[in-house]
Structure 1
Amino acid sequence: MQQSRMSNPIMGLPEVGQSLQALGRALFASAEKNTLPTSTLFLAYLRASQINGDSVCVDLHSRNALAAGESTERLLVVSAWRETSNFTDAERAALALSEAMTRLHDLNDPAPDDVYKEASLHYDEGALATLIIGIATANLYNRINVSTRQRVDVTSPRN
Structure 2
Amino acid sequence: MQARMINPTKTLPGAAQGYQALLQAIQQGGVPQTVLDLVHLRTSQINGCSFCVDYGARSLKKAGETDERLFAVAAWREAPYFTDAERAALALAEAVTRLDPADPVPDAIWEEASRHYDEKGLGAIIYMIALSNLASRVNIAVRQVAGQQ
Structure 1 and Structure 2 fold alike (TM over 0.5): yes
Matches within 5 A, 1:2-151: 2-28=1-27, 30-31=28-29, 34=30, 36-104=31-99, 106-151=100-145
User: Which amino acid in 2 is paired with 1:26?
Assistant: A
* Equivalent-residue separation in structure 2 for 1:3 and 1:151 (angstroms): 7
- CA distance in 2 between counterparts of 1:151 and 1:14 reads 22
CA drift of 1:69 comes to 2.1
Amino acid at match of 1:112: P
Q: Deviations over 1:32-63 (max 9, x none)?
A: xx2x1110000010000001011111111111
Structure 1: runs of 5+ lacking an equivalent: 155-159
C-alpha displacement of 1:65: 1.2
User: RMSD between aligned alpha carbons?
Assistant: 1.5
So what's the TM-score if we normalise by structure 1?
A: 0.87
Query: Are the aligned partners of 2:54 and 2:147 in contact in 1 as well (CA < 8 Å)?
Result: no
Identity among equivalent positions (%) equals: 51
Q: Between Structure 1 and Structure 2, how many residues are aligned?
A: 148
Q: Which amino acid aligns with 1:62?
A: A
The answer for unaligned runs of 5 or more in structure 2 is none
| 1:107 to partner: Cα distance | 4.5
1:75-115, Cα deviation, whole Å (9 max, x unpaired)? 111000011111011111100000001101x4421111111
How far apart are the structure 2 equivalents of 1:140 and 1:153?
A: 19
TM-score under structure 2 length normalisation: 0.92
Secondary structure of 1:69's partner?
Answer: coil
